[in-house]
Every structure is written in structure tokens, then in C-alpha cells.
Amino acid sequence: MTRRPVDLSLYLVTDTGLCGPRGVPATVEAAVAGGATMVQLRDPGTTDADFVALGLAVRQVLAGSGVPLIVDDRVHLVQDISADGVHVGQRDMSPSQARQLLGPDAIVGLSISTIEQVRAARALGDDVLDYLGVGPVWPTATKPDHGPAIGPDGVAAVAAASPWPVVAIGGITTVRAGALRHSGVAGVAVVSAVCAAEDPAAAAASLRATWDGQP
């Protein structure tokens, strides 16, 4: 059961280094123009102050788009950025605590790799989480400390066990997005496929067209 509908079709996770001189806000703006439906602000190496400044700049380019802004990990900064919610990992603050701090209207997502972790999430109750991020599907250089890649079959198994919508992440390209369309997931999450692209809007549009099954 979800508190509010979330469109996970094309979920952009930002990477400040990969965005380069173009910058994160401009990359986000282009990605949304190309069809991104959700944005997660992620920059684990920056200070809280710089993260808030970056978040406010991204919030500004998203104004009026209807695309939610999710903060990675830093639950304590969600309100400062006026973000729509948070995404936490297995080693971050517990989803229950994040929900308690952010209230009933925030979006709360959780990273999952195994069916056992889905079972643990279900034990939290139906009113804590809104979606799961599942992966890595394929190995990815954007998060070197990730666990073993679980592949499309692993993603499909987790999605089948989840009562929440699932977004697949990890090594996803336009071609690979097509391979996941019938795996039971609600969408795909990308980092380098958009952030490192020469034309983020075109990259997002290509991914979105593939996901939507357009020729």
C-alpha cells in the first residue's frame, strides 16, 4: 500500500562529478525535459551546507514540473531543501525513523537487493515505505561499494515479492532498460546514462521511449 502515487518510469540519480561543468541543476532540467519522472539528489562527498545549496538550486529548476525531488540518505536536510522525501540504504537511518521524522506525506524509498530484505521491509508495516530501489542489476562504476549484481532475474524475483512499486538500478542503459520492461518493475533508475551524456535531454528521451515501448 502506498501513501501517494509515485511515477518511477525514469528515475534520475544525480552525480555531481559526472555532470561536470554543466552542473547538476542544468542536467536535471534537461533530463526532466527528456522525460525523467523522479529525481534523487545524491552527493555523498559534499558538506551539508553545499548539499542544501545544491538541493535548493535543483528544487528551483523542478518548480512547476510535478517531478518529485528525493534526497539520498540525509534525512535531516529534507525540510531545509523542501524536498518531497528521502531514499535510504540498508546502512542508513531506518525507514521507520525517517517516516517518523518526515511525517505521513513524505515519499520514503529503500534500497533492496534480496527477497530477505523485502521480508524485513514488510515487517515495518504498510505505512512506512512508498517504493523500493532494487539492484544493482548490472555492475556499475558509479557506486563502487555496491553488492553483487543480481541481474534481471534477481530483480524480477524481488519485484514479485514486493508489495510496493520497484525501480531497478545499476548499470542501466537504453538497451538494458528494454530488457527490464517485462520484469515486474515500475521503472528504471539511471546515473551515468544521463549525467555523463553529452545531451542529457536526448539520453533521457531515449531511455523513456524504450521504457514506454515506443519504436
CA separation for the pair 85, 109 (Å, rounded): 8
Catalytic residue, candidates 9, 42, 59, 162: 42
Choose the catalytic residue: 59, 74, 99, 143: 143
Catalytic residue among 111, 113, 183, 206: 111
Contact 54, 46 (CB under 8 A): yes
CA–CA separation, 41 vs 39, rounded Å?
6
Helices marked H in 8-72? 16-19, 24-34, 48-62
Query: Does 42 qualify as catalytic in the annotation?
Result: yes
CA proximity to 143, closest of 123, 121, 166, 113: 113
Active-site residue, 65 included: no
The answer to whether residue 181 is catalytic is: no
Q: Which of 162, 181, 41, 75 is nearest to 113 (CA)?
A: 162
Catalytic residues, by residue number, are 42, 111, 143
